[in-house]
């Protein structure tokens, strides 16, 4: 296993000089389907362990250096056999970048190497309808010489869990799901209802559960309505507050949108008597981990580190050379930068 994981990281760094047996790796990845299939829709992480949370990677080459930064590998690329932390990927490992196939395989194999400590959630790109168009399908064709194994990758997508809970926080690729009401608002679903969704579908667009589609596609916005993306809904701070309240949770962490600083506080707690200077608790935060997304967005990438009920962020710019510079900081430093939103209509 270590050799394969090393090989996957090596091919990301140096694709031309690395040889890799994708057929053999897919054979091993097959065994992950059974274990992923055992997981509930909402996985519950161990609150006592510190936890790194990673947003969209989209096949950008970040995992070799993130692995070293968080202590998964040492400077020689040897894997830490007994990690004292958890790792949560929030989906959209695939499509867009050059190494989306390796990224997916690496993340899935990590769940086998570190059972109960590494989790991968499903993003909207881990679906047949998106991955067949936005990169993974042609990448597999280019790298394997045929596309017959795409079906097996779809089997992996189907069994990925769709949300996680850790230290009273909710983690999901797009956002929490709501039942649309005739009033125009949405009723937040309970964790029990989310766990009852049939997640094992290939085409999420054809899913009977609108909730599954929403969890992979929703975005925080200023009104509750069908999303401009053509799938899912936009949800407000009031919707988020209602979801957190009904489930006894504190904050939603999600991915799915580029953030200029790599992460962004999208929504803060609604207060009865608003005071400009009063600190407001974050209730919805975006984490995006692909720097300079698609080689044009110019954004930083971030990963979050949760420890003892505190969250901090590790941000980085896309490397001009092969070396990423990591910058550790807290939430406050980001508030000062008044992050801007991506314009509506941006396809992520």
Total of chain residues touching Mn ion, rule CB under 5 A: 4
Nearest Cα to 108, choosing from 98, 95, 97, 119?
119
CA distance linking residue 227 with residue 184, whole number of Å: 14
Nearest Cα to 20, choosing from 144, 147, 152?
144
Q: Residues 221 to 260: which contact Mn ion by CB under 5 A? A: 256
The residue from 125, 173, 256, 263 that is catalytic is 125
- The interface region with Mn ion, picked from 74-82, 85-93, 178-186, 196-204 by CB under 5 A, is 85-93
The pattern of x and - marking residues 119 through 138 that bind Mn ion according to CB under 5 A reads: ----xx--------------
Nearest Cα to 103, choosing from 146, 67, 75, 129?
67
Measured CA angle at 150 (ends 149, 156), to 5 deg:
100
CB of 211 to Mn ion, least distance (A): 17
Residue 92 as a binder of Mn ion (CB under 5 A): the answer is yes
Cα torsion through 329, 261, 290, 325, rounded to 10: -50
Chain position carrying tokens 């202590």: 71
In the DSSP assignment, the letter for residue 288 is B
- The residue number whose beta carbon is nearest to Mn ion equals 256
CB of 263 to Mn ion, least distance (A): 15
Active site annotation includes 328: no
CB of 130 to Mn ion, least distance (A): 8
CA distance linking residue 41 with residue 159, whole number of Å: 9
Nearest Cα to 253, choosing from 299, 289, 286?
286
CB of 100 to Mn ion, least distance (A): 13
Q: Between 45 and 57, whose beta carbon lies closer to Mn ion?
A: 57
CA distance linking residue 179 with residue 184, whole number of Å: 10
CB of 257 to Mn ion, least distance (A): 8
Q: Between 256 and 300, whose beta carbon lies closer to Mn ion?
A: 256
Q: Between 174 and 188, whose beta carbon lies closer to Mn ion?
A: 174
CA distance linking residue 143 with residue 264, whole number of Å: 35
Q: Where is 337: in which H helix or E strand?
A: none
Coil, helix or strand for 333?
helix
CB of 58 to Mn ion, least distance (A): 8
CB of 327 to Mn ion, least distance (A): 24
Q: What is the DSSP string of 23-91?
A: HHHHHHHHHHHHHHHHS-SEEE--TTSEEEEE-B-TT-S-HHHHHHHTTSB-TT-PBPSS-SEEEEE-S
What are the residue numbers of the active site?
A: 125
Residues in contact with Mn ion by CB under 5 A are 92, 123-124, 256
């Amino acid at each position: 296993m270590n050799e394969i994981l090393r090989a996957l990281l090596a091919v990301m760094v140096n694709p031309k000089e690395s040889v890799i047996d994708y057929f053999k790796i897919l054979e091993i990845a097959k065994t992950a389907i059974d274990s992923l299939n055992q997981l509930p829709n909402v996985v519950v992480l161990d609150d006592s362990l510190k936890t790194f949370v990673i947003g969209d990677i989209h096949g950008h080459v970040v995992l070799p250096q993130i692995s070293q930064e968080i202590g998964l590998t040492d400077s020689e690329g040897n894997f830490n056999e007994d990690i004292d932390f958890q790792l949560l990927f929030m989906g959209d490992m695939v499509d867009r970048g050059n190494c989306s196939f390796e990224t997916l395989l690496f993340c899935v194999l990590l769940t086998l190497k570190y059972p109960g400590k590494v989790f991968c959630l499903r993003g909207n790109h881990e679906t047949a309808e998106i991955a067949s168009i936005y990169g993974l399908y042609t990448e597999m064709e280019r790298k394997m010489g045929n596309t017959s194994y795409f079906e097996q990758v779809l089997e992996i997508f189907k069994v990925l869990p769709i949300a996680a809970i850790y230290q009273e926080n909710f983690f999901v690729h797009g956002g929490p799901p709501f039942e649309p009401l005739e009033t125009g608002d949405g009723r937040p679903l309970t964790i029990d209802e989310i766990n009852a969704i049939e997640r094992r579908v290939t085409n999420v667009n054809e899913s009977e559960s609108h909730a599954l589609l929403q969890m992979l596609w929703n975005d925080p916005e200023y009104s509750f309505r069908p999303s401009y993306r053509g799938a899912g809904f936009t949800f407000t701070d009031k919707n988020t507050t209602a979801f957190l309240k009904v489930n006894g949770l504190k904050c939603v962490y999600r991915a799915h949108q580029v953030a200029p600083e790599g992460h962004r506080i999208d929504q803060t707690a609604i207060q009865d008597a608003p005071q400009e200077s009063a600190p407001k608790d974050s209730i919805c935060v975006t984490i995006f981990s692909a720097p300079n997304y698609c080689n044009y967005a110019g954004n930083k990438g971030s990963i979050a580190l949760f420890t003892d009920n505190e969250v901090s962020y590790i941000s980085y710019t896309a490397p001009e050379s092969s070396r990423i510079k990591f910058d550790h900081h807290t939430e406050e430093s980001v508030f000062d930068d008044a992050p801007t939103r991506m314009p509506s209509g941006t396809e992520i």
